[in-house]
Amino acid sequence: MAKSPTDTRDLADEAFLREVDDAVRDSDLKQFWNKWGRWIAIALIVGFGTLGAWAYFENQKSQAIGDQGEAFIKAVDILEAGKNDEALEQLKSFKDAEQAGYRALSKILEGNIAIEKGDKKKAIAHYDDVIKDEELSSAFRDFALIRKTMAQFDDVKPQHIIDQLKPLAIPGNPWFGSAGEMTAISYMRQDKEDLAGPIFAQIADQEDLPESLRGRARQMAGVLGIDAIQNSESEDDAEKTSE
């Protein structure tokens, strides 16, 4: 029987975690990063990009009303069916949409399709259109910034990533999970493990973030010499004592 994408992803996660455990025992961070660094970056682009995008789209689908809403839902359904070119045609109708949210989401979708086609330059242009649209709320613009940074991740210097995500890589920010992880990885690429470790530990401690992200951050913090689990338990004990 062929393995499903979920099965394949689970096996990859198991292999990743085994490698992390070996790296912790051997204290060989550089070997670990050389082997897994690029795959972590790919996971960011593919995994978080997809999850973040569909969270927005599903929310938009639940709120959509009127003909424009139905047209947008149709475009998303077409895209979910894997018909990218047909979806692009449908999305063109939202270029000058009166409702800013539809303009933003259609641009982000176009950017995601461009990424799938290997055209990062076009994708970044779409994301930039959203980032520069001052009629949009910060939620849309920040989302576009995350997607743009993911698209650029392998092609720009780590410091560029760090500077670009600085406003979002703050605990409590809605995008702290993905922005924090990309920032921490960028610090690792600069051999600044002392700056990366605390960020991974903070991500692991954020209960409102996906457990898959928190687990990965917890493992990375361990590789960098920070026991995120112990830190979290200590903070909990301190809070209980203060009560």
Say which residue the tokens 């970044």 belong to.
124
Better-scored residue on pLDDT, 50 or 93 = 93
Element (H or E) spanning 27, and its range? none
Say which residue the tokens 């112990």 belong to.
230
Assign 183 a pLDDT band (cuts: 50, 70, 90).
Answer: very high
Span 126-130, average pLDDT: 93
CB 115 within 8 A of CB 44: no
Quote the pLDDT of residue 81. 81
Is residue 211 classed exposed, middle or buried when 0-12, 13-18 and 19+ CB atoms within 10 A define those classes?
Answer: exposed
Highest-pLDDT range among 130-134, 140-144, 165-169, 220-224: 165-169
| CA distance linking residue 83 with residue 79, whole number of Å | 5
Quote the pLDDT of residue 11. 45
Reported as a single tens digit per residue, the pLDDT across 10-68 is 444 444 444 444 444 444 444 444 544 444 444 544 444 444 555 566 565 555 446 67
Cβ neighbours of residue 117 under 8 Å, at least 6 residues apart?
A: 84
In the chain, % of residues over pLDDT 70: 65
pTM to 2 decimals?
Answer: 0.68
Mean per-residue pLDDT over the chain, rounded: 74
Quote the pLDDT of residue 121. 94
Highest-pLDDT range among 96-100, 133-137, 156-160: 156-160
Quote the pLDDT of residue 30. 46
Span 122-134, average pLDDT: 93
Which of these, 107, 120, 105, 133, lies nearest to 45 by C-alpha position? 120
CA torsion through residues 95, 127, 123, 208, sign = negative
| CA distance linking residue 228 with residue 236, whole number of Å | 12
Other CB atoms within 10 A of residue 71 CB: 17
User: Any alpha helices (H) in the chain, and if so which ranges?
Assistant: 5-26, 29-43, 49-63, 66-80, 84-91, 100-116, 120-131, 138-152, 158-165, 176-189, 193-204, 211-223, 228-242
Span 97-107, average pLDDT: 79
